[in-house]
Structure 1
Amino acid sequence: MSKTLLSLGHGFSAQVLADLLVPMGWRVIGTTRKQEKFATLTAQGVEPLLWPCDITDALSEATHVLTSAGPDADGDPVLRLAQDAIVTAAPKLEWVGYLSTTGVYGDHDGGWVDETSPTEPATVRGQRRVHAEQEWLNISGLPVHVFRLAGIYGPGRGPFAKLRRGVAQRVIKKNQIFSRTHVEDIAQVLLASINVPNPGRIYNVCDDDPQPPEVVIEYAARLLGMEPPPAVPFEEADMSPMARSFYSDSKRVRNDRIKTELGVKLKYPDFKSALHAMLEQEKAQET
C-alpha cells in the first residue's frame, strides 16, 4: 500500500527524511513559504505547496504528517489555520510527528534530563513550544509523536559553515553544556517511529556526547587547518538576542528511549565522528 507524507514547514530535517522515503516509493508533499524553493523541492522528489494554503485535499491523501513549523506569539501556525481539517483527517492518519526542541526542559545547570523531566523553560520561545506540544497531543484520536530535538547540524549547517564565513565565536560561559544531533540521525529516528508508531510518546533526539560549545568550535577549526577563534567571555560576545538566549539553558540530554524503544543506532554518536564524516562527504563531492 502506498504511503503519503504531508510535511508542514518542509525544511532541513524534513528534507533528509524525504530523501529516505522517496526512494522507498513514498509520495511526499511539502509546504514552504518560498515559491523560489519549488524547483529545488521538485528535483528532490517533493511536491511543493505554498504556505499558507488550504491543506484539506493534501490531508485527505496523507497517511502520515510531519510538522516542523515553530509556534509564534499566537500559537501553532498550522493548528491556527487548519485544526478543523486535521481533526477531520485524524481517524485515517497512521502517524503524526511534531518536531519540538529540548529547550522545553529549561536550565538544569549542566545536569541530565530525560523525557520524564519537568518542562520548565525560562525563555518565551521554550514556553511557546511546551504549549504547542500540548495543543497537538490534546487533539483526540490524532496519533501524535513528539520529537524534542537538540541543536541540529549537518551539511551546510554547523561549525564548519560558521568558521568559513568568519562568524564563528568561541564563547566561554562557565558550566555551559549543550546536546546536539546530526540531521541524518533525526531522519532515522523519525523513520524508526513511523515503522513502530506509539501515539502520545515523546522522544529526545540527540547524540551521546554533550559538550561545551567552545570545544566543538575548536575541534572543527583544527580539522579545517584553521586557528580557532579567540575565546570571548559570554558577557562580551557579539550575539543576536536569539543566539544569546540559547545560553540561558545548560543541560545534558539523555537519548535512551530512541535506542530501547525504536532500536535506533546513531550514525553519529558524538560530534567528532560527525565532523569527520562531514569533511569526507565534502571531499567526495569535490572529486
Structure 2
Amino acid sequence: MNNKVKKIGKPRLLMLGCGDVGMRMLPLVRERFRVIVVTSKPERCEELRAAGAIPIVADLDQPASLGRLARLAHTIVHLAPPQSAGEKDRRTRNLAAILPDRATLVYISTTGVYGDCGGASFDETRATRPTNARAQRRVDAESVLRAWARRSGSRLAILRVPGIYAKDRLPLERLQKGTPALSAEDDVYTNHIHADDLAMIAVAAIDRARPLRVYHAVDNSEMKMGEYFDAVARTFNLPSPPRLPRSELQQQVSPMMLSFMSESRRLRNERLHNELGVRLRYQTVEALLKTLS
C-alpha cells in the first residue's frame, strides 16, 4: 500500500518523442517521475510500457489530438523533430498552444542553427544564422518556446545538439559503401555527443538549467569530418573513405549530406560543465572507439 501511495505521489514528466535518446532517458527518470510519453504510433505503446512509461497516442501534426496533454505535467522534455518541410515548426507551434504556465521545459534543438561558421570556436552567445530550411525550423521552434516561457513564467532550457554517436550509431554502412569524404583542404569541423551523455545532459537540464538558457550539448572532440570517418574505419578494420574535392563530391552525395559537409564549426561547452555540472562519460569520440577496438 505504501508503494502504491508513493507511485501516485510522483511528479509527472511529459516526454514528446521517444526515439533512441528518449529510451535512454527513461531509466534515468522513471524512478523519480511518473513518465508520460506522447507517441503518434499506437504500435509503440507496448514497448513504452515495458520501459516504464505511460504512453499516450497523440500527434503534434493534429492539434485536435493534443487537448488532453494540457496541464498534464509541469516538467516537459521536447524531443520531437519538426515536420520535414517549411520554414516554421508547426509541431512546436501546436504544442506551445497547450503548454501550461510555470512549467519546466527542455527542448532538444540542433547546432545546425548556427550555419557555416568557417571553423570558428565559439560559445552559446553567438547569433544563429541558419542556412537551410531544416535549421530555420529549429530556430523557429526556439523562438516560439522562448515567447511561451516569457509569457507563462516558465523555465526553458534549449540544448543545441550535434551529431549523435553510440556503439550502434556509427557510420559503418557509409564506410562499407565507400562513400567519399571531403579532401583535407575542403574538410569541415564537426561536433559530436554520445547518445547516453545526451540523455544525461537532458536530465541535468531539468534540475539545473537557468531560465531561458542555451547549452551546447557537445563533447570535447575537435575533429574534422574526414578524421571522424577515418577513426571509425580504423576501429572496425574498414577502408578509409576516398577523399575528393568539394567540386567532385557534390556529384556523389545527397543534398542533405552535402549540407552537413558545407558547415564547419567548433562549439565550446563550458556552460555544460559549469552550470549543469555534467561530467561526460565519453569525453571524445575516441573514448568510445577505444572500448570497441
TM-score when normalising by structure 2: 0.85
The 5 A counterparts of 1:221-260 are 221-237=233-249, 238-260=252-274
Q: Which amino acid aligns with 2:25?
A: L
The 5 A counterparts of 1:197-236 are 197-236=209-248
Please give the per-residue CA displacement for 1:151-203, whole angstroms capped at 9, x wherever unaligned. 1112422224544xx34634115141101111111111111121224220110
The 5 A counterparts of 1:128-167 are 128-139=137-148, 140=151, 141-160=153-172, 162-163=174-175, 166-167=176-177
User: In 2, distance between residues paired with 1:154 and 1:161?
Assistant: 14
Range that drifts further, 52-61 or 198-207: 52-61
Identify the match of residue 36 of structure 1 among 19, 36, 43: 43
Alignment match, 1:90: 101
Q: Residues 275 and 4 from structure 1, CA distance in 2 versus in 1: closer, same or farther, beyond 3 angstroms?
A: farther
Shift of residue 74, structure 1, vs aligned partner: 6.1
Q: Which amino acid aligns with 1:133?
A: E
The answer (yes or no) to whether the contact 2:124–2:215 under 8 Å persists in 1 is yes
Shift of residue 101, structure 1, vs aligned partner: 0.7
The answer (yes or no) to whether the contact 2:113–2:130 under 8 Å persists in 1 is yes
Please give the per-residue CA displacement for 1:54-75, whole angstroms capped at 9, x wherever unaligned. 3343443313111122334162
The answer (yes or no) to whether the contact 2:12–2:74 under 8 Å persists in 1 is yes
Q: Residues 6 and 39 from structure 1, CA distance in 2 versus in 1: closer, same or farther, beyond 3 angstroms?
A: same
Identify the match of residue 169 of structure 1 among 144, 163, 179: 179
The 5 A counterparts of 1:53-202 are 54-72=65-83, 73=86, 75-86=88-99, 89-91=100-102, 93=103, 95-139=104-148, 140=151, 141-160=153-172, 162-163=174-175, 166-167=176-177, 169-173=179-183, 174-202=186-214
User: Please, which runs of 5 or more residues in structure 1 have no aligned partner?
Assistant: 281-287
The answer (yes or no) to whether the contact 2:221–2:284 under 8 Å persists in 1 is yes
Q: Which amino acid aligns with 2:91?
A: V
TM-score when normalising by structure 1: 0.86
User: In 1, distance between residues paired with 2:57 and 2:177?
Assistant: 32
Q: Residues 31 and 74 from structure 1, CA distance in 2 versus in 1: closer, same or farther, beyond 3 angstroms?
A: farther
| Percent identity of equivalent pairs | 31
Range that drifts further, 256-265 or 222-231: 222-231
User: In 2, distance between residues paired with 1:247 and 1:218?
Assistant: 15
User: In 1, distance between residues paired with 2:286 and 2:178?
Assistant: 18
Superposed CA RMSD in Å reads 2.1
